Chain A
C-alpha cells in the first residue's frame, strides 16, 4: 500500500527538505519502518530506545491520532495520508522560569 507521509518542517533536514515522502506498508508500523530504513536519522528522532514512538511525537492517519486507533498496528489503505507532528501543547503553571 502506497501512502503519503507528511514531514514537519523541523524534520525536513533528514529527508532532503521534502514536505512529504512516499512510503509503503499495511500498517503504520510498516510505513514508518520502511521510511526509517531510507531515512535513519528521521527514525532516530521519532523512536525511543525501546522502539516505541517518542511520547512527544504524534502520528496521524488522515486526521486521526493513531494512539486513539490501534497505535502502530493501525491499518493503512492505499492513498492514506500519514502526518508526523511534534506535539503542540503547554499552559500555565504556578512555577515560572
Chain B
C-alpha cells in the first residue's frame, strides 16, 4: 500500500511537529483513495514529550470536516521527539483506526526529520496488540 502526500502538506506536517517541541505533536491528514488532500493540525492535549492525545473539540471538528468534505481519515500523524519513526507499544495498543495510516515523524535529526507510515491491524479493534505493516509514503 502507498500513501501519496502533496509536498506542501508534508512540509506543513513537519513544521507542525517541529513547532510542538519539546512535546509530541499530532494531527490528521484527510484525502481520498490513498491520496492526501488536506492537512488538519491538532493540539496535543496531553502536552507531553512521550504521549499524544488530540484536543477533543478540535478532533470532533476535524472528523466533521472530513465527513462534510466527503473525505477519509487518510492518516493520523504524531511525532517522536527522540526516537525512531516506528510504532511504540503504546502506539500499537492505542491504535483503533485500521483503515488509516499511522504516520510517525521522528525529530531525532531536527534538520532532517524522518516520516514513516504504518497500518496497524487488529482482529478486534479493542485488542491491545496487532499486526504492523509499513506503508510507502510518496511525495507528490
* A97–B89 CB distance below 8 A: yes
Q: B60, A96: Cβ atoms under 8 Å?
A: no
Q: Which residue numbers of B lie inside 8 Å of A, CB to CB? A: 24, 26, 46, 48-54, 56-57, 59-60, 63-64, 67, 72-73, 76, 78, 80-84, 86-99, 102, 125-126, 132
Given A60-B60, A86-B96, A90-B78, CB of A95 within 8 Å of CB of B73 = no
Q: Select the residue from A60, A83, A97 with max chain B CB neighbours within 10 A.
A: A97
A to B CB contacts below 8 Å, 28 in the list: A6-B64, A8-B63, A10-B99, A56-B125, A60-B56, A60-B60, A63-B56, A63-B60, A64-B56, A65-B56, A83-B60, A85-B59, A87-B94, A87-B96, A88-B53, A88-B96, A89-B46, A89-B53, A90-B52, A90-B78, A90-B88, A91-B50, A92-B24, A93-B88, A93-B90, A95-B88, A97-B86, A97-B132
Q: Given the known A-B contacts A60-B56, A86-B125, are A91 and B86 also in contact in the complex, defined by CB atoms under 8 Å?
A: no
A6 contacts across to B, CB distance below 8 A: 63-64, 67
Point out the residue from A45, A60, A86, A97 that lies within 8 Å of B87, measured CB to CB. Answer: A97
Residues of chain A within 8 A (CB-CB) of B80 are 91-92
> What B residues does A37 contact at CB under 8 A?
none
**Distance of A21 from chain B, by nearest CB (Å):** 13
State the CA gap A95–B51 with chains docked (Å).
Answer: 14
- Could you tell me the distance between the alpha carbons of A56 and B64 in the complex, rounded to whole angstroms? 20
| Residue picked from A8, A45, A96, most chain B C-beta under 10 Å | A96
Tell me how far the C-beta of B135 lies from the nearest C-beta in chain A, rounded to whole angstroms.
15
Report the separation of the CA atoms of residues A90 and B132 in the bound assembly, to the nearest whole angstrom: 15
Q: Which residues of A contact B82 (CB under 8 A)?
A: 92
Contact yes or no, B63 A92, CB < 8 A: no
